[in-house]
Amino acid sequence: MEKLANLYVREIVRLHGVPISIVLDRDPWFTSRFCEELQSAMGERQLLRPELVHVMKEKIALIRMRMLTAQCRQKSYAAKHCHELEFSNGNLVYLKVSRMQNVCCFGNKGKLSPRYVGPFKVLKQVSSLAYKIEMPANLAGVHDVFHVSQLRKCIHDPSQVINHEPLDIQPNLTYEELPVQIVDRKEQH
């Protein structure tokens, strides 16, 4: 066993340094004897030297400082886009509409389709970030509880209200698109 420990120190430790851990697939008796012989073969060398521990503590402190700096930077980026909104019962809010390609939504298609519809009345606060709003009868198929990110506070201006009444939603959540009037006509040759 002493021969193996000396061979290990001479070849492995000399070339690669003292390992942090050693995995042996032998029985516990062999492992315990080998570790004892390895310690005696290393002599004054210790597996965890005080200077190694000190260097590792310094590196860990540096890593923690850099992680804290990165976390603060990310927090400042997120804080720029974060708006804490709170609505009380009876407030008017606009509801965010997800735009889809080639779909006419509330009278317009594409870039010109509205991003928000409403205004709708806030009925109650369900949680700190969710609100229940009063939906009209033609939008009864739409769930009435929304996350605060889907709502925008309404500063009531009657000229900005978008009429959403003529939209007839079918049970499968589709609707028929009908032209209102022909605005312009162009002949091509």
Residue type, 20: I
40-44, 92-96, 161-165, range with greatest mean pLDDT? 92-96
Cβ density class 87-125: b for 16+ within 10 Å, e for less: beeebbbbbbbeeeeeeebeeeeeeebbebbbbbebeee
Residues 34, 61 contacting (CB under 8 angstroms)? no
pLDDT of amino acid 100: 57
Alpha carbon distance 111, 117 (integer Å): 15
Q: Are 114 and 48 in contact (CB under 8 A)?
A: no
Token pair of 112 as six digits: 């010109």
The domain segmentation of the chain, as residue ranges, is: 2-80, 92-160
What is the token pair recorded at 108?
A: 């317009």
Higher pLDDT, residue 99 or 51: 51
List pLDDT tens digits, range 23-49.
777 777 777 777 777 777 776 455 556
